[in-house]
């Protein structure tokens, strides 16, 4: 166990941040999953801006890497373009 007050506080902060980041990362993955499961192009195009905004926010706050966000947005757009 930690011996210093600052170390104990750091452990508390790290756990809180870890849970916060896990929640938003999971929410993002579920949104992408829902978008990729959509078969209607119009509905998918309506969903895309929300997913894009979510990815940009997560990249901005360093929850995910900005290049990962770019790749996910690109892949989502490619999927939407393929829909007929």
pLDDT value, residue 2? 80
Q: Does the pLDDT of residue 36 top 80, yes or no?
A: yes
Average pLDDT over residues 63-71: 97
- Res. 79 pLDDT band, cuts 50 70 90: very high
Q: Does the pLDDT of residue 66 top 90, yes or no?
A: yes
pLDDT value, residue 84? 77
Q: Where are the domains of the chain?
A: 5-82
Report, at the CATH architecture level, how domain 5-82 is classified.
Up-down Bundle (1.20)
How does 35-72 read in b/e, with b if 16+ C-beta sit within 10 Å? beebeeeeebeebbeebeebbeebbeeebbeeeebeeb
């Amino acid at each position: 166990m930690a011996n210093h007050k600052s170390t104990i506080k750091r452990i508390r902060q790290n756990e809180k941040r870890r849970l916060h980041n896990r929640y938003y990362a999971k929410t993002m993955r579920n949104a992408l999953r829902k978008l990729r499961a959509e078969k209607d192009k119009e509905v998918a195009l309506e969903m895309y801006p929300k997913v894009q905004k979510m990815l940009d926010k997560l990249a901005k706050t360093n929850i995910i890497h900005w290049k990962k966000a770019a790749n996910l947005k690109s892949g989502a757009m490619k999927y939407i373009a393929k829909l007929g």
